[in-house]
Amino acid sequence: MASHRRPKPAGRARVSILTAAAATAVALSSQAGAHADPAPSKDQVKQQVDTLNEQAEVKTEEYNAAVEKEQGLQKQVSQLQDQVARQQAEVSTIQGSLGEIAAEQYRTGGIPQTVQLMLSASPDSFLGQAGAMNQVGSTQADVLKSFKGEQAKLDQQKAEAEQKLAELDSTTQRLQADKEEIQGKLAQARNLLDSLTQKERDELAAAEAKAAADAKAKATGGQSTERASRDAARTDVAVNVPAGSHAAAAIAAAQSKLGTPYSYGAAGPDSFDCSGLMKWAYAQAGVSLPRTSQEQRSAGTNVGTNIASALPGDLIIYNSSASHVALYVGNGQVIHAPHTGAVVRYETATMSPINAIVRP
């Protein structure tokens, strides 16, 4: 017959341990919830995005410099390869002449040693032997000297071409690394913005649009913010710019691109990064500027860092790394290509620390 014993009650110590473990679990759970990082606010997200955009801009200017270097190296390599091909043809022609001389000597009973030396892979061995020199005529000696000189030139050109090819390969790898780093920072910025609500994103966009409209109102003679917002495509040359000057032409060119999207590495005409816009605008005025903001910092007369010293048409270089550049249009305002996701627009000239004001 089956036993119907009652289960043995848990010991007091065991109950205490289980109770304590449960209490600890509850406490840890509540602490984890209490210490979970809160979602960043709209302003915090904007600050983080601005930082990422600035970092991406630094890498963009490095990317632009690498592109410029790569293009220069490709041109040099092409020229060197052409030189090598022409030099190889010259050496082959001289080798043919040596063969003809050797064959003629052989047919006319020439000295076998001479034939052997002239056909040697190392003409230095021939030229270094005075006895052999006495056994050949001046014509043969001249041909061999010419061969030696042309072969040395060919070897030098080949070595130079190989060096440039290695440098080109290194630059191309750096270019790819810069591109990946830029894309990574921009992806981080997009993810941060995507973490906001649609309402918060709309508020940020509206704030940027209002700031740009206010800047345009000041730059173009004080029209109202409302009118500037309605008339965003209007392109008025800044006040107090000498008509027909390079500055006026550059400003007019930049104003014609208001609303054009930013794109890193782009220099127009359909998209721009910051230095690309400056280079393109001044090119329309007949002035050649270098490609990067760092190079543009040295592309004219440096008039300091006080915005009161700036004249319309000056380049305003920003940040300690000189990673951003804008075009001053007067009344404390600039036109620039800000960052990915934005368009060419007006902005207050003191938007970031000024590194230099340059007059092309």
- Active site amino acids: 274, 324, 336
User: Domains in the chain, start-ordered, CATH in brackets?
Assistant: 42-194 (1.10.287), 204-359 (3.90.1720.10)
| pLDDT above 70 for 288 | yes
Residue 47: Cβ within 10 Å count? 13
pLDDT tens-digit readout, 73-91: 888 888 888 888 888 888 7
Please give the order of strands across the beta sheet that includes 301-302: 301-302, 354-359, 315-318, 324-330, 333-336, 345-348
What pLDDT is attached to residue 217? 81
124 band by pLDDT with thresholds 50, 70 and 90: low
Separation between Cα atoms, residue 118 and residue 101, nearest integer Å: 9
| pLDDT above 80 for 239 | no
Q: What is the widest separation between alpha-carbon atoms in the chain?
A: 132
Preceding omega of 7 cis (within 30 degrees of 0): no
Q: Report which DSSP code applies to 5.
A: P
Q: pTM of the entire structure?
A: 0.66
Between 4-18, 309-323, 342-356, the lowest mean confidence (pLDDT) is in 4-18
Percent of the chain with pLDDT over 90: 33
Mean pLDDT of the chain: 78
